[in-house]
Chain A
Amino acid sequence: MSMTDRLSSAPAPRRLPHGLIVARNILLFLMRAPTSLFGLIVLGLLITLAVFAPLIATHDPYVQNLQNTLQPPSAAHLFGTDELGRDIFSRLVAGSRITLSIIFLVTIVVGPLGLFFGTVAGYYGGKVDTVLMRITDIFLSFPSLILSLAFVAALGPSLNNAIIAISLTAWPPIARLARAETMTFRQADYIAAAKLQGASSARIIWRSIVPMCLPSVLIRLTLNMATVILTAAGLGFLGLGAQPPLPEWGAMIATGRRYMIDSWWLVTFPGLAILCVSLAFNLLGDGLRDALDPKQMNRG
Chain B
Amino acid sequence: MKSVTISDLCVSFGALQVLHDIQLEVAAGECFGLVGESGSGKSTILRCAAQLNQKWTGTVEIGGKSVRDMSVAERCRAMQMVFQDPYGSLHPRHSIRTTLEEGLRINGIGNRDARLAQAMRDVGLPVEFLDRYPHQLSGGQRQRVAIARALILEPDVLLLDEPTSALDVSVQAEVLNLLVRLQKEKGFTYLMVSHDLAVVDHMCDRFAIMQHGRVVEVLPREAITQGGATQPYAKELIAASLEYEHAV
Contacts and interface: CB of A to CB of B under 8 A. Distances in A.
Contacts of A197: 76, 80, 102-103, 106-107, 149, 153
Contacts of B153: 197
A51 interface: no
Interface stretch (B2-10, B13-21, B125-133): B125-133
B130 A190 contact: no
B130 A4 contact: yes
Contacts, number: 85
A294 B81 contact: no
A63 B89 CA distance: 64
Interface in B50-82: 50, 52, 72-73, 75-76, 79-81
A8 B121 CA distance: 11
A193 interface: yes
A261 interface: no
A212 B130 contact: no
B76 A8 contact: no
A232 B159 CA distance: 56
Given A3-B113, A198-B76, A294-B93, A193 B127 contact: no
Given A196-B50, A197-B106, A198-B76, A190 B133 contact: no
A189 B83 contact: yes
B91 interface: yes
A123 to B, nearest CB: 15
A208 B73 contact: no
Contacts of B149: 193, 197
A12 B129 CA distance: 12
Nearest to A209: B91
Contact of A199 (B92, B102, B128, B133): B102
B110 interface: no
Interface in B80-106: 80-81, 83-85, 88-95, 97, 102-103, 106
A192 B43 CA distance: 13
Interface string B134-156: 01100000000010010001000
Interface residues of B, number: 39
Interface string A222-236: 000000000000000
Interface string A13-38: 00000100000000000000000000
B73 A198 contact: yes
A134 interface: no
Contacts of A188: 88-89
A194 interface: yes
B117 interface: yes
Interface string A188-227: 1110111111110001000110011000000000000000
A6 interface: yes
Contact of B92 (A1, A4, A198, A294): A294
Contacts of A192: 50, 52, 81, 83, 89
A198 B81 CA distance: 12
B93 A193 contact: no
Given A4-B128, A197-B76, A294-B93, 15 more contacts: A6-B113, A7-B127, A189-B85, A189-B89, A190-B91, A193-B89, A193-B146, A195-B52, A196-B79, A197-B153, A208-B94, A211-B93, A212-B93, A294-B133, A298-B136
28 contacts: A3-B97, A3-B113, A6-B113, A7-B116, A7-B117, A7-B130, A8-B126, A8-B128, A9-B127, A18-B95, A188-B88, A189-B84, A190-B90, A192-B50, A193-B83, A193-B146, A193-B149, A194-B102, A196-B80, A197-B76, A197-B80, A198-B73, A199-B102, A207-B102, A208-B91, A211-B91, A294-B133, A298-B136
| Top 3 A-B pairs, shortest CB-CB distance | A189-B89, A197-B103, A189-B83
